[in-house]
A and B are shown apart, each in its own frame.
Chain A
Amino acid sequence: MAEPALSIRGLTKVYGNGFQALKGIDLDVQQGDFFALLGPNGAGKSTTLGVVCSLVQKSEGKVSIFGIDIDKDFAKAKYQLGVVPQEFNFNQFEKVIDIVLAQAGYYGMTRREALPRAEQLLRDLGLWDKRNGNARMLSGGMKRRLMIARALMHRPKLLILDEPTAGVDIELRRSMWEYMRRINQDEGTTIILTTHYLEEAESLCRNIAIINHGEIVRNTSVRELLAELNTETFLLDLAEPVTAPPVIDGFEIAQIEPSQLSIVIQRGQQLNDVFSALSEQGVRVVSMRNRANRLEEMFVSMVEAGNKAIDERTQAEAQA
């Protein structure tokens, strides 16, 4: 079997103030995967990725990129790695073209090698017309795309995207998804994505790890995770307002607004039964949608369970 694109064993990070951000995590991301690393703010996602790309010094543990141990030959490992950080980290006063060409130069690419690559990437990402403008003049979405172009200049085999679509409008987000899918499928680039848009992870990623309080609480495929969902909540918009929520045996129905109901469907239950019962009671439904994205429900329940467990542990320790 091929070496994983990223292998992490027993990774621990304790910051100078004593805060333990990572508590010995193990993680494998296989070559060619589109992998989501999810977790609430402060869970340890950025610290993990920071260690992988040398922005954070690990306290303990082992990290290998395509089988190259970063403690033994980090420079070689870095050639395989492209990084798109959460925050803008380029000189805002430089020209767009200079930013991508300089990055190529840092990887030893001559200007002659780098120019066609820069043109291709900037064209693909809709920035070619802006190449001679100052980076600070770009919109937020363009700045994000600039960081993607910069990260891909040296043709990395592993691309790390730390919240790449934060603050990007929906249309642009979808076009960025398309681009990410393309480089994953057509060029075989392994992608690790962190995001707060769980719809993004559900739509793009095949495998997923959820990190909370510095520990991996789940590491599985998106499909398996979604299959575990026992319930799904739908919102029904009604043609006319109702004074009280209809009662249907076996279904949990709540009234959100006079013309809107929420209904929880358990695994094995049929939506047809709901519609038939509503129809019999004279309630007409004009539209229906998921209350939240399915993965989001799963994510929230896991994080809440994790937080509850920690609260209980803290209380038990306090009582002891």
Chain B
Amino acid sequence: MNATQTLVALWTLVLKEIKRFTRIWPQTLLPPSITMAMYFIIFGNLIGSRIGEMDGYSYMDFIVPGLIMMSVITNSYSNVASSFFSNKFQRSVEELMVSPMPNWVILSGFILGGMARGLGVGLIVTLVSLFFTRLTIEHPLLTVLVVVLTSALFSLGGFINALLANKFDDISIVPTFILTPLTYLGGVFYSISMLPNFWQGVSMLNPILYMVNVFRYGFLGVSDIPVVWALAAIFAFIIVLFFAALTMLERGKGIRS
């Protein structure tokens, strides 16, 4: 394929992915906005007013970046996991396999599709948060960079999950038993400085903590951990997962007999 054909193929796949999740918007776009509105009302307003300040900010201001990031992570992951697995399940993945599209284009198409949903939901949640607080963004470029990289990283995770999955249960195990606990324990609702030293150390092993903290740093200018380290970790994870996913795709893992 020449460069133009490659771009056409990539755009076709991305557009198809965007059409998929917008077609079923009551399942994909609406629930996160309602769930997050509940978080803002209950944790931010009702309980948050009794908690007082966290790291020098109102509790509502503290949790908004974390909740946006939580939406981006779960939606990026689940979009790619469910879309690619459905393609496998319905065998429509064969449309891609018989085509001359290079594997990196197939992978990138699904990742960009996942990012489109993750970032779209992130934007919706951000708009919802404006009903509850006045958002200020201290470092806009860093904020955008972190949310885009995080979305890419979890889209890649969702892709690998779907490649390895043999049944629908397999694509819900990771989000339910790994992703959700790590997100809740990743400093979305609290500062890890509140934890005893031992649990602070344990928390540092949680990759989501880095993403939430850097994202919060972009909004508020405060972080529990060094920003550069966090960015480096996200980059490293993206590179490792991208090549892992590409290698599995080249070998036909889970899709070619």
Residue total for B at the interface (Cβ-Cβ under 8 A): 30
Give complex CA distance A109, B94 in Å. Answer: 18
CB within 8 Å for A89 and B90 given contacts A54-B97, A55-B257, A56-B257? yes
**Is the Cβ of A78 less than 8 Å from the Cβ of B99?**
yes
Q: Which residues of the other chain, A, contact B139 by a CB distance below 8 angstroms?
A: none
**Is the Cβ of B8 less than 8 Å from the Cβ of A110?**
yes
CB within 8 Å for A106 and B102 given contacts A56-B257, A57-B257, A98-B19? no
Q: Which residues of the other chain, A, contact B1 by a CB distance below 8 angstroms?
A: 75, 108
CB within 8 Å for A55 and B94 given contacts A91-B87, A108-B1? yes
Among residues 66 to 111 in chain B, which have CB atoms less than 8 Å away from a CB atom of chain A? 86-87, 90-92, 94-102
Residues 88-101 of A, flagged 1 when their CB comes within 8 A of B and 0 if not, give: 11111100001001
Give complex CA distance A105, B6 in Å. Answer: 9
**Is the Cβ of B9 less than 8 Å from the Cβ of A108?**
yes
Contact of A105 among B4, B9, B91, B94 (CB under 8 A): B9
Q: Which residues of the other chain, B, contact A83 by a CB distance below 8 angstroms?
A: 94, 98
Q: Which residues of the other chain, B, contact A75 by a CB distance below 8 angstroms?
A: 1, 100-102
Nearest Cβ in chain A — how far from B132, in angstroms?
A: 36
**Is the Cβ of B9 less than 8 Å from the Cβ of A106?**
yes
A85 touches B (CB below 8 Å): yes
Q: Which residues of the other chain, A, contact B134 by a CB distance below 8 angstroms?
A: none
Please name the residue on chain A nearest to B3 by beta carbon: A108
Q: Which residues of the other chain, B, contact A141 by a CB distance below 8 angstroms?
A: none
Number of A-B contacts (CB under 8 A): 85
**Is the Cβ of B4 less than 8 Å from the Cβ of A108?**
yes
Which among B10-18, B28-36, B180-188 touches the partner chain?
A: B10-18
Q: Which residues of the other chain, B, contact A275 by a CB distance below 8 angstroms?
A: none
A198 touches B (CB below 8 Å): no
**Is the Cβ of A55 less than 8 Å from the Cβ of B98?**
yes
Nearest Cβ in chain A — how far from B162, in angstroms?
A: 15
B256 touches A (CB below 8 Å): yes
**Is the Cβ of A103 less than 8 Å from the Cβ of B94?**
no
**Is the Cβ of B95 less than 8 Å from the Cβ of A89?**
yes
**Is the Cβ of B5 less than 8 Å from the Cβ of A91?**
no
Nearest Cβ in chain B — how far from A10, in angstroms?
A: 20
Nearest Cβ in chain B — how far from A240, in angstroms?
A: 56
Nearest Cβ in chain A — how far from B103, in angstroms?
A: 10
Nearest Cβ in chain B — how far from A144, in angstroms?
A: 15
Nearest Cβ in chain A — how far from B95, in angstroms?
A: 6
Contact of A89 among B6, B86, B91, B256 (CB under 8 A): B91
Residues 19-56 of B, flagged 1 when their CB comes within 8 A of A and 0 if not, give: 10001000000000000000000000000000000000
Nearest Cβ in chain B — how far from A66, in angstroms?
A: 14
Residues 26-55 of A, flagged 1 when their CB comes within 8 A of B and 0 if not, give: 000000000000000000000000100111
Give complex CA distance A15, B257 in Å. Answer: 7
Nearest Cβ in chain A — how far from B151, in angstroms?
A: 24
**Is the Cβ of B97 less than 8 Å from the Cβ of A107?**
no
A11 touches B (CB below 8 Å): no
Q: Which residues of the other chain, A, contact B5 by a CB distance below 8 angstroms?
A: 107-108
CB within 8 Å for A108 and B2 given contacts A75-B102, A98-B19? yes
Please name the residue on chain A nearest to B83 by beta carbon: A91
Give complex CA distance A98, B92 in Å. Answer: 13
**Is the Cβ of B252 less than 8 Å from the Cβ of A106?**
no
Q: Which residues of the other chain, B, contact A57 by a CB distance below 8 angstroms?
A: 252, 256-257
**Is the Cβ of A85 less than 8 Å from the Cβ of B9?**
no
A-B contact pairs, 19 of them (CB 8 A): A50-B257, A53-B97, A54-B256, A55-B98, A55-B256, A56-B257, A75-B100, A75-B101, A76-B100, A81-B98, A83-B94, A87-B91, A90-B90, A98-B16, A102-B95, A105-B13, A106-B9, A108-B5, A109-B8
B contact residues vs A (CB 8 Å cutoff):
1-2, 4-6, 8-9, 11-13, 16, 19, 23, 86-87, 90-92, 94-102, 252, 256-257
Known A81-B98, A88-B91; 20 more pairs at CB < 8 Å: A50-B257, A53-B98, A56-B256, A78-B98, A85-B94, A89-B94, A89-B95, A90-B95, A91-B92, A98-B16, A102-B95, A105-B8, A105-B9, A106-B12, A106-B13, A106-B96, A108-B1, A108-B2, A108-B9, A109-B8
